[in-house]
Amino acid sequence: MLIGTFVTGAGSTLDAVVGDVRAAREARLDSVYFPQMMGWDPLTLAALAGREVPDIGLGTAAVRTYAAHPLALAGQALTAQAATGGRRLTLGIGPSHRQVIEGAYGLSYERPARHVREYLEVLGPLLRGETVDYRGESLSASGALETPGAEPPSVLLAALGPVMLGMAGELADGTVTTWAGPELIGERIAPRVRESARAAGRPAPRVVAVALGAVTYRPDELRGEMATTFAAASGFASYRRVLDLQGLSGPQETVALGDEAAVADEIARFAAAGVTELVFGAIGDEHERKRTLDLLTELRTSAPDGGPARAS
C-alpha cells in the first residue's frame, strides 16, 4: 500500500503549500493530494508543485464535475500533467454535494449518477487525445484537445454508493473515498469496484482512501475539534449514508488518534482491507503533525513493497 498525505492549502500561501509538498517528499511519502475548496485551485497547485518538487505523486481529491465542462477540465488536467513532467498526476473527480453545487454555484444537482456517467464517457476519450462528438441528457461536447506530449492522468471517481462505485471500476481507474473506514472498504467498497472493473475488462482498479489522524496524547480533545470542524459534512447525503453504514454519528469517529502503535494499527487495517493508496492527513498542532509525519515515514520505508509494518 502506498502512503501519501493530504494538503488542503487552507489559510496558506502558495509558497507554504509547495513547502508542504517538499516536506512530504523529504519524508519519503508517495504522494500529496489536494482537495477542491473555496480557495486555491487543486490542479494549479499540482502543476506548480510538480515544477518545484520532483519525484512525488500529485493528485486531486476531488475536483467538482458540475463546476467544469469536461473539455475544460481535460485541458486543465493535461496541462498539469505536462507541468509535472508526466505520469505523476492523479485526477480525482466527483459530483460533490447538493448543498455545494446548488448553494454555492447556483447549479442544478439533478440526477448526479447520470451526470457522472456522461461526464466520464466524455472525459476519458478527451484525456486519451481522441475526438469526441457527444450528445447526452446532461451535457454535450464536441472537439479534441491539442496537448503534445501530455500523458493522460489516472482518473479516480469519488464514490461511496454502489452505483457510483460501479462507474469507478467501469469508466475510471478506481475510486477515492472519504470517511470510509477499513471494514466498510474491505466488505463493500473494494469488492464492488473490482467486480465492475473485471466485468468491463479493465485492469485492477485503484482503491484510494483519504483518512485523517494524529499521533497525540489528547485524542478526546482532537476528536471534539473534528466534530466541530466537520459538523456540516454529516448532513451531506452521501457522507451521511456511509457514516450510517458504519454506525457512526459523524466524521470525527473515523479519525485515527492515539500513540504511534494505535495509529499504525489503524493504517495497517486499511492495507488489509485492500486499499492501494492511503492519503493520510495529519491533524493537530505542529508537534502532533510532525510526530504523525515521522510515523508515516517509518511505516512507508519499513515496508516499501507492501502494506505498512507496525511502528516500532
Model confidence band, residue 310 (pLDDT cutoffs 50, 70, 90): very low
Going by their DSSP bridges, the two strands 132-135 and 140-143 should be labelled as antiparallel
pLDDT at 89 over 50: yes
Which pLDDT tens digit goes with each residue over 211-262?
999 999 999 999 999 999 999 999 999 999 999 999 999 999 999 999 999 9
Q: How many CB atoms within 10 Å of residue 125?
A: 18
Measure the CA–CA gap between 214 and 273, rounded to whole angstroms: 21
Measure the CA–CA gap between 6 and 53, rounded to whole angstroms: 16
Using the structure block, give the residue that is written with the C-alpha cell 463546476. Answer: 67
pLDDT at 304 over 60: no
What is the average per-residue pLDDT within 183-194? 98
| Cα-only R_g, the chain | 19
What angle (nearest 5°) sits at the alpha carbon of residue 61, between those of residues 290 and 183?
Answer: 80
Percent of the chain as helix, strand, coil, to the nearest 5: 45, 20, 35
The per-residue pLDDT for 305 is 55
What is the average per-residue pLDDT within 185-203? 98
Which pLDDT tens digit goes with each residue over 200-213?
999 999 999 999 99
DSSP letter at 161 equals S
Using the structure block, give the residue that is written with the C-alpha cell 448532513. Answer: 235
Measure the CA–CA gap between 114 and 141, rounded to whole angstroms: 15
| CATH number 3.20.20.30 is the correct assignment for the domain at 2-212+264-302 | yes
pLDDT at 311 over 50: no
